[in-house]
């Protein structure tokens, strides 16, 4: 009995010695400032109904780099262009992965899409497909006729409503969804060309599913049908849409990662869900702001009348001569970013950012909403002033870290060119084709600028 107690005491002494050695051999790390976390919940109690505003206020107290705890997980928030550059450029390779969150697992077919896929072979291969095949200049240009046809359908429908109050939010989502679905999988699933079981899907059902983005059960059933139908006609055909292109790529015996059904569905879901909501929301916000600044509408329409004239519609090739349309879009991106918080990044190893030690396994958010409201970068940042972009060379490609509508670095949105084509041609033609004014007795001060928060923000 006495001998056993000796062994227990000796073991306890060894554990204490190991603990002390660990402390003295690992000097205390210098972590970014932040509020003290609560047990279990961490700092989740500090997030309000609009998280990007809550995080912005925290940055005003603690600085441009704030360390939080969401539960027990470390979360770093960057809120200035300088810190965004540190994360997305200086240490891009370290923060190139995304965290394995439940949201990613259940909304992307087990991290199969490019948004939620961890940094690795599948993500690199998918990104290469997007950049060299799906969103290449040649592919995007080959689908121009679809953009034109759907845009004319939208304009014709709005023309039939001339003189009546129109809410763009009632028309733009359907227009963008029809356009994107034709690019990705053709329109035969919605126009009666196929004798589809009514239980498969309708365009209206697809829109509701996208609005309730977590309903993947319905998506799986529909995407499975799309894949099977495309596969059945795969022999001796010319690719007509993006799903056809994926099947062509999947036949390559030298692929590093096989394109399974789940991976194909994840990539298709990227293409359908990503551009639909963001493009519509950007145009809605632009017109919400322009309604409060009719002088900007007048100036834009003068440019359009001078360059385009009254006899034709705006085409993609015209934008080199339409700089004022571009500055309106940039100012909309600044004040109403596509994603108020850029998709989360994740540190795959320990690193040092701006003198602070960032441990491996830290989730990182870049607050795009804060970037657009930085008083260091923007004069009167809360105001919509399109002229601020007239005489500067700030672009939207991720090289200027004060304006990151599509992100930057390895994780920048690969569909940038398609998104810009959709937004600017649609907005330019809506300005060119109609005279816009407030309905009834509505006044400028009656226009609501409140936001509906979601994956993207919409005007209320």
Tens of pLDDT, residue by residue over 150-200, are 999 999 999 999 888 889 989 999 999 999 999 998 877 776 555 555 446
Query: Read out DSSP for 164-176?
Result: S---GGGTHHHHH
- The closest alpha carbon to 266, from 454, 414, 104, 121, belongs to 104
Q: Comparing 174-178, 231-235, 276-280, 374-378, which segment has the lowest mean pLDDT?
A: 231-235
Q: Is 377 annotated as a binding residue?
A: no
Smallest Cα–Cα separation from 150: which of 186, 189, 200? 186
Sign of CA dihedral 419, 161, 298, 387: negative
Please tell me the distance from the alpha carbon of residue 135 to that of residue 140, in angstroms, as a whole number: 6
pLDDT at 21 over 80: no
- pLDDT of 89 over the 50 cut: yes
For residue 85, what pLDDT is reported?
97
Helix (H, G, I), strand (E, B) or coil at 42: strand
46-68: burial string, b at 16+ Cβ within 10 Å, e else: beeeebbbebbebbeebbbbbbb
Q: What is the mean pLDDT of residues 89-116?
A: 89
What is the pairing mode between strands 65-70 and 73-78? antiparallel
Q: Is the pLDDT of residue 226 over 50?
A: yes
Distance separating alpha carbons of residues 426 and 419, to the nearest angstrom = 11
User: What is the overall mean pLDDT for the chain?
Assistant: 87
Q: Residue 87's closest CA among 398, 393, 340?
A: 398
CA atoms within 13 A on the CB side of 208: 6
CA separation for the pair 402, 397 (Å, rounded): 11
Average pLDDT (421-442) is 91
Beta carbons of 398 and 412 less than 8 angstroms apart: yes
Decide: helix, strand or coil at residue 239.
coil
Please tell me which residue, 314 or 26, carries the higher pLDDT value: 314
Q: What is the DSSP string of 47-96?
A: --SSHHHHHHHHHHHH-SEEEEEETTEEEEEE-SHHHHHIIIIITTTTT-
For residue 212, how many other CB atoms are within 10 A of its CB?
A: 9
């Amino acid at each position: 009995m006495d001998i056993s107690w000796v062994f227990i005491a000796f073991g306890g002494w060894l554990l204490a010695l190991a603990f002390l050695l660990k402390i003295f051999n690992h000097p205390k790390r210098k972590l970014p400032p932040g509020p003290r976390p609560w047990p279990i919940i961490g700092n989740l109690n500090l997030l309000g109904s609009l998280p990007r505003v809550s995080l912005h206020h925290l940055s005003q107290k603690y600085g441009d780099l704030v360390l939080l705890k969401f539960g027990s997980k470390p979360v770093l928030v960057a809120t200035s262009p300088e810190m965004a550059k540190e994360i997305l450029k200086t240490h891009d390779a370290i923060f190139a992965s995304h965290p394995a969150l439940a949201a990613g697992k259940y909304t992307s077919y087990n991290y199969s899409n490019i948004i939620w896929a961890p940094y690795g072979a599948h993500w690199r291969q998918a990104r290469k497909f997007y950049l060299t095949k799906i969103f290449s200049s040649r592919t995007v240009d080959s689908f121009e006729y679809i953009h034109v046809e759907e845009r004319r359908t939208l304009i014709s429908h709005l023309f039939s409503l001339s003189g009546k109050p129109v809410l763009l939010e009632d028309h733009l989502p359907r227009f963008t969804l029809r356009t994107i679905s034709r690019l990705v999988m053709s329109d035969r699933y919605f126009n009666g060309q196929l004798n589809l079981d009514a239980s498969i899907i309708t365009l209206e059902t697809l829109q509701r599913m996208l609005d309730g983005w977590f309903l993947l059960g319905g998506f799986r059933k529909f995407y499975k049908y799309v894949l099977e139908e495309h596969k059945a006609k795969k022999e001796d055909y010319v690719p007509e849409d993006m799903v056809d292109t994926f099947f062509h790529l999947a036949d390559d015996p030298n692929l590093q990662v096989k394109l399974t059904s789940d991976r194909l569905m994840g990539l298709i879901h990227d293409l359908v869900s990503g551009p639909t909501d963001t493009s519509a929301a950007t145009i809605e916000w632009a017109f919400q702001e322009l309604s409060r600044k009719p002088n900007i509408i007048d100036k834009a329409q003068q440019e359009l009348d001078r360059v385009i004239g009254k006899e034709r519609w705006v085409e993609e090739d015209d934008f080199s001569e339409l700089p004022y349309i571009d500055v309106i879009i940039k100012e909309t991106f600044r004040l109403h970013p596509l994603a108020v918080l850029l998709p989360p990044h994740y540190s795959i190893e320990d690193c040092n950012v701006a003198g602070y030690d960032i441990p491996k396994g830290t989730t990182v958010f870049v607050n795009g909403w804060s970037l657009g409201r930085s008083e260091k970068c923007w004069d009167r940042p809360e105001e919509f002033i399109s002229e601020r972009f007239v005489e500067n060379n700030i672009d939207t490609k991720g090289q200027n870290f004060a304006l990151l509508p599509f992100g930057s670095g390895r994780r920048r949105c690969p569909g940038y060119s398609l998104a810009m084509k959709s937004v600017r041609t649609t907005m330019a033609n809506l300005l060119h084709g109609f005279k816009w004014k407030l309905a009834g007795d509505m006044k400028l001060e009656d226009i609501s600028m409140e936001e509906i928060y979601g994956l993207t923000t919409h005007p209320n």
